Structures are given as structure tokens and as C-alpha cells.
Amino acid sequence: MVTIKDVAKHVGVSVATVSRVLNETGYVHEDTRRMVEKAIQELNYTPNEVARSLYKRKSKLIGLLLPDITNPYFPQLARGVEDRMQESGFRLIFGNSDESEQKEQDYIQTFVQNNAVGIISSTNFPGMESYRRLNIPVVFLDRISSDRPAVYADGREGGRIAAQQIIKRGSRRIAVLQGPAHIRPAQDRFQGAVEVLQDTGVAYEVIRTASFALTEAEEKAKELFAAFPDTDGVIASNDMAAIAVLHEALRLGKKVPEEVQIIGFDDIPLIGLLSPPLSTIRQPAYDMGYKAAELMIRLIEGQPVEQQNIQMPVEFVERGSTRENPEKRRE
Amino acid sequence: MVTIKDVAKHVGVSVATVSRVLNETGYVHEDTRRMVEKAIQELNYTPNEVARSLYKRKSKLIGLLLPDITNPYFPQLARGVEDRMQESGFRLIFGNSDESEQKEQDYIQTFVQNNAVGIISSTNFPGMESYRRLNIPVVFLDRISSDRPAVYADGREGGRIAAQQIIKRGSRRIAVLQGPAHIRPAQDRFQGAVEVLQDTGVAYEVIRTASFALTEAEEKAKELFAAFPDTDGVIASNDMAAIAVLHEALRLGKKVPEEVQIIGFDDIPLIGLLSPPLSTIRQPAYDMGYKAAELMIRLIEGQPVEQQNIQMPVEFVERGSTRENPEKRRE
């Protein structure tokens, strides 16, 4: 293993000089700096980041916490975060919380113990004490908090669009799946949809769900059609829930979209290949992750941050689980 | 911030004693140990892992390298790894290689710089110099190497089963998608399929692909039907490739499975919901990740490892992209 001493010896300077070059501290003559950098390359010397982080009190590690990477929505967020972080040489310590407060606390603690310089979290518990105690930057991703920087999609507008589209396309007895009550974007979607339903006076029922997990979604889908068998439109809390509803509707022999229209939320991969392909409200997940990483880097580097809360636009993606827009047909 | 000194003062022992308890080194009287542990809890003291790792020369970080987390196969592997690691208090530094040798090298280097105590890698370059130089354990996941511990599925048997099933169900002009030539499990699948095709004397063509990326799979699917329009069965290199083939077949107006049968490999989430649902060879991805983590922990802890190479079983999952088994019909 090549050490800093080997580098110093190779160039004929002191270890302190090599250290100054590595840490970009203090004065080093330009020629000396070049020689040291050349020696580092030639000897293939890789400074020990742990030792450096102790010296500089800074690592290049960022904690990333997501609910569950096997939900196809989250890998997109993770890729966005990672790609931006990689551009600036940061690395991710990664964990899944499974929407459990205990797991989330454990991860935050170990992020700190491993000297993470920032945490990006799709938390289910934004008000948790563990976040308040941190003295490193935190960015919430796909979540909203009044006292923390955050990157999220415009859930309320998404909910409004979903309701407008499903009404316009003819649903009159609508079920709205309400996502976890303590997660702001999920509630914003719900509120947006309900606003439009109330304004237009269309009948609707609410099905409450506690998590985004597929198993719960399957139960709720069964409950939905058992309690309200004449439902002719479903606004789902996310695509996984929409898939569960689609499956249950088909299992009951209902025609989608002729008898029941379904709109999801997220636009996860492969839903365009389902039968029928799922109409949904698209969130720009990759871009959200990328922006969150960008915001985090600015915070770490102490750069001015104009916008603490970045709200990204959503859009309706028309596929086969909704009927044709009659206004369009007339054109 | 509570320090080790505060803990020592609280109990009335020396810092060295607290350190011995923390690091499980040297003799500490049982009563003293209990008092120290109680104080650590009461004061909510979290030892700095970086300082500890410098002292003990050990961190609890494991590097995990996957090709691309947005390919739905890999989150399952990642979850398996993480869940097992979490049980033993290890954390993951995570990166996507995008099947690029340069990115893979960069990640390995930074894993080492951050004092990772082991690396689990779904490498595309198992022979790479960077792995040979490491003096920490490496476990290859979903990959095979002659000189490294590895966890992978029985690709050859998978390929054999795919060919047997597609022939048994009536395909006679078969196209085999050959995955990346430098990845052993992909080649094993291919070899297994070709073995059976040759043994049974069924006509087949080979389409070579360089990566597992969906964009390439889409091109190859177009090439396939352009070059061999009378193909009546496709053995795909993985599910993403099978989805691309399915889409292209349907686009060309071919009936699946009546005119073309398609078998994938992996059994990623949601393919059972496609139209038609995709028949495939299932790999136990979550279990593979879990086993790889288990193997890694044994290596880190210096425990005896009976099996350096763990081969997991595969199975045929019958869905709608293959026709009924005529043998079954007769029963």
C-alpha cells in the first residue's frame, strides 16, 4: 500500500506539503503542487478518506433513506440523487425504512456515526426528533416539511387533474384512495382531488390507506368494490395502488375503462405495458432526485440557496385505463 | 454532543475502560461493563464510527455495486443484501455502474477510501485489476468468477428449461437472445438453451446483445423480426429483453403466444400483469442478495466458509406468453 510518506519521498518534499496539496490548505508553490499531483498519479496513491475526514472533519458520504427500493417508484428517485452526487464526487450510504419509525431512526443514527455530511430522506416522519437534533443538512425528497428544504411534486395539482380528467371522461361514482395521512404529498393529492369533486358535486367515497405497500393496496381494493360495488371511477393514491385496483376490478369481471376508469399517480416503469395500460399522473421522479442532490450539495458547500422548497410539475399521462376525452372526440 | 469523557465521568471510570467496553477489547469487570452500557444508554452517547474505525481499523460499511437500480431486477437483489446486512448492523455504500468499467473502478476506489470492510458486486468485469488489488473480501452477486466467492442462479439449467419448455409447447423456429458475452450467468443461460436446441435438432438463430439495457433490447427485438420474420419462439436473455420482444411482436401484429412464444429470465415484478403475462425462468433474486450478504459477513468475521460458490435453483413460471403444455392437456 502506497502511503503519504512514499509520495513525499518520491517528490522530495515533506509529508506536511503533500498533506497541504491533498487538503487544499495553506500555501504550496505551483510547481511543487504539480509534482506532488504527478507523484500521486504515478504511485497510484489513494488517500484514506477516513483519516482525511477526521483531519478535515468532512467526508464525502451522504445518507439516502427511502421507504422501499422494491417499489418501482423509488429506484428512479435514487438514480437521480446518485447521478448528481456522483458528478461532485459524493457517495451514498443507502437504507430502506419500510415506513418504520424505528428503522428510520436507526439509519439516521448510523449515517451520523459514519460521518455523513448530509441526509436526503423520503421520510414518513418529517417531524421526528432525530431530524431536529441533526447538525448536518437534511433535504426531504418527495416529502414536505415547513422547517426543512424539500423537493416534491405538485401533489395538489396532480389530485385536481386526476379528478378533472376522470369526471370529464364520464365517471360519476368515484372512489378516492387516500394515502398515508401523515405524508404531505399524499394528502395534497387527496385534497386536490376532493376539492374538484366537491366543486363539481360528483358523488365520491374515500378509502383510507396507511401505507404505500402493495399488500395493503390489494386489501383496500377488495374493500373498495365490496363496500361500493357501483364505483365507476377510482383515483388511486399511487400506481401500485392503481395496479391493485385494476387487478381486483378485472377479477370481478368489470371492464376497464368501459365500466370503471382508474387513474394512478407516479408513472412507474412498465405500467404502460399493462392491460389495459394505466393512465396516471406523472411525477418527474428522476429529476426530483437530481434536484434534491443539487440542493444538498449547495447546502453542504455553504452556497446561497434561493429556494428551500422546490415544487416540480406533474402531468396527466393518458393511457388505456381511462376512456376517450369526449371534448377531444368532438374536435 | 455527549463524548466518551462524559460517559467515563458519569460512571466514575477511565476513558480507557469505556473504550474497552465499546471495542470489546481487554478485560472489564462485568459490573463495570453493565454500568458503562447503562450510562451509554442514559446519556444517549453514540460513538463516532470514524474514530472507532481508525482505532479498530474496522468500519461497518459494505460497498454494494449494481449495474442499474432502475432495472427492476436489481432492487430485489439490493433488498436481500440490505436486509441481511441490517440484521448484523452493517450499512451499505451503494453505487450503479451502468455497466461501465470506469464507473465501476471509481466506485471500488471510493468504497476502499471510505473504509468499506467488504464489497458485494454484480460486476460486468470480474477479472478487473481493481478487484485483484483489494485486500478486503469481495463477493460477486449474480456473477461467477473462478477465484472469488460468488452467489448466482443456475443459469445453465435455466437455459435448458427455457428451451425444453418452448419446444414442448410447439415452437420450431426459435431465436435465442444471447446476453453480454463477458458475463458468466448470461452465457450459462445461453449455453444451456443451445445445448437443448442442438440435442433436439430444432432450428434456431442467435441474436447477440452487448448489455442488459432496455434501449438495446428494443433495437435487438426489431433486428430479430426483420432478419427472421418466421420466428415462432424467442428465448430472451432476461425479462427486460423479453418485454421488448413482446412489444415488437405485438407491434408487428403477431399473436402471442399463438404465433410467437416468448420466455424471459428473472421474474421481475409486474411482468405477471403484462398482456399477455410473461412466462419466465425465475431467479430467487431477494434470496440471492440475502445469501451474498450472509457469505460476506462470514468472510468479514473470519468464520469458516464451506461453500465459496453458492448456486441457487431456478424454475419455470408458466404464464400467458407460452402456449399450453400439450402433455398436460392429454392427462
Query: What are the extents of the domains in chain B?
Result: 4-47, 61-153+285-313, 155-283+316-330
Distance CA A131, CA A147 (A): 11
pLDDT tens column, A39-83: 887 887 776 655 554 444 467 899 999 999 988 899 999 999 999
pLDDT of residue A24: 65
Q: How crowded is residue A156: how many other Cβ atoms within 10 Å of its Cβ?
A: 19
Q: pLDDT value at position A252?
A: 95
**Is a pLDDT exceeding 50 seen at residue B54?**
no
Which chain A positions have a beta carbon within 8 Å of B70's beta carbon? 75-76, 79, 269
Q: Looking at the domain B61-153+285-313, which fold is it? A: Rossmann fold (3.40.50)
Å from B91 to nearest chain A CA?
A: 7
| Residues found in chain B | 331
The C-alpha atoms of residue B248 and residue A58 are separated, in whole angstroms, by 51
User: Most A CBs within 10 Å: which of B58, B69, B79, as the mutation test of the A interface?
Assistant: B69
Q: What is the mean pLDDT of chain A?
A: 89
Task: Determine the distance in angstroms separating the CA of A281 from the nearest CA of chain B, rounded to an integer.
Answer: 19
Cα angle, residue A111 at apex, residues B9 and A287 outer, rounded to 5°? 155
- Which of A53-57, B99-103, B142-146, B258-262 comes out lowest in average pLDDT? A53-57
Grid cell for residue A139:
433535504
B217 or B267, which is more confident: B267
What pLDDT does residue B133 have? 84
What is the per-residue pLDDT across B148-203, written as a single tens digit (0 to 9) for each? 899 999 999 999 999 999 999 999 999 999 988 778 888 999 999 999 999 999 99
Query: Using CB atoms, which residue from B53, B96, B114 is nearest to A61?
Result: B114
pLDDT computed for residue B49 by the predictor: 58
- Cβ of B92 within 8 Å of Cβ of A93? The answer is yes
Name the residue of chain A whose CA is nearest to B270's CA. Answer: A270
Residue B55's pLDDT is 45
Check pLDDT > 50 for residue B53.
no
Tell me, yes or no, if A303 comes closer than 8 A to chain B by beta carbon.
no
Examine the pLDDT at A261 and tell me if it is beyond 70: yes
The reported pLDDT for the residue numbered A171 is 97
Do the chains contact at A92 and B93, CB–CB below 8 Å? yes
Distance from CA of A208 to the nearest CA of B (A): 24
Q: Longest C-alpha distance within chain A, in Å?
A: 84
Most confident among A213-227, B53-67, B165-179 (mean pLDDT): B165-179
DSSP summary character for residue A272: G
Question: Looking at chain B from residue 17 to 56, which residues have their Cβ under 8 Å from any Cβ of chain A?
Answer: 46-51, 53-54
- Among partner residues B54, B72, B109, which is closest to A269 by beta-carbon distance? B72
In one letter, which amino acid is A153?
A
Residues of chain A in contact with residue B96, where contact means CB-CB under 8 angstroms, are 79, 82
Residue in A with minimal Cα distance to B103: A86
SS3 B32: helix
Rounded Cα distance between B11 and B262, Å, is 69
Q: What is the CATH number of domain A61-152+285-312?
A: 3.40.50.2300
Specify the pairing of strand B203-208 against strand B173-178.
parallel
Q: Report which of residues B328 and B234 the model is more confident about.
A: B234
CATH for A155-283+316-325, options being 3.40.605.10, 3.90.470.20, 3.40.50.2300, 1.20.120.450: 3.40.50.2300
A179 or B256, greater pLDDT: B256
Q: How does pLDDT run across B100-142, given as a tens digit for each residue?
A: 999 999 999 989 988 899 999 999 888 888 898 888 999 999 9
Contacts of B275 in chain A (CB under 8 A): 273-275
- Of A117-126, A145-154, B206-215, give the lowest mean pLDDT range: B206-215
CATH C-level class of A4-47 = mainly alpha
DSSP helix/strand/coil, A203: strand
Check if B76 contacts A (Cβ < 8 Å): yes
Q: Is the pLDDT of residue A142 over 80?
A: yes
CB interface of B with A, residues 258-277, below 8 Å: 269-271, 273-275
- Is ipTM strictly over 0.90? no
Domain B155-283+316-330 in CATH 3.40.50.300? The answer is no
Average pLDDT of span A186-202: 96
Which residue, B298, B235, B277, B327, is CA-closest to A274? B277
Chains A and B form CB pairs within 8 A to the count of 130
A300 Cβ partners below 8 Å, 6+ apart? A117, A118, A137
Whether B1 has a pLDDT exceeding 90, the answer reads no
Percentage of the residues of chain A whose pLDDT score is greater than 90: 60
Q: Is the pLDDT of residue B91 over 90?
A: yes
Residue pLDDT, tens place only, A95-123: 999 989 999 999 999 899 888 999 999 99
Closest CA to B239 of B204, B263, B207, B274: B263
Asked if the domains at A4-47 and A61-152+285-312 fall in one CATH topology, the answer is no
- Over range A254-281, report the average pLDDT: 93
Beta carbons of A233 and A280 less than 8 angstroms apart: no
Residue A224 pLDDT greater than 70, yes or no: yes
* Average confidence (pLDDT) over B53-63: 69
| Cβ-based burial of A26 (10 A; exposed 0-12, middle 13-18, buried ≥19) | exposed
Q: Is A178 on the interface with B (CB under 8 A)?
A: no
Of the listed ranges A48-62, A197-211, A303-317, the least confidently predicted one is: A48-62
In chain A, residues 113-142 whose CB comes closer than 8 Å to chain B = 113-115
At B217 the pLDDT is 85
- Distance to chain A for B198, nearest Cα, Å: 34
Chain mean pLDDT for chain B: 89
**pLDDT recorded at residue B243:** 92
Question: What value does the mean pLDDT take over residues B238-267?
Answer: 95
B13 or A167, which is more confident: A167
Q: Does B39 score more than 90 pLDDT?
A: no
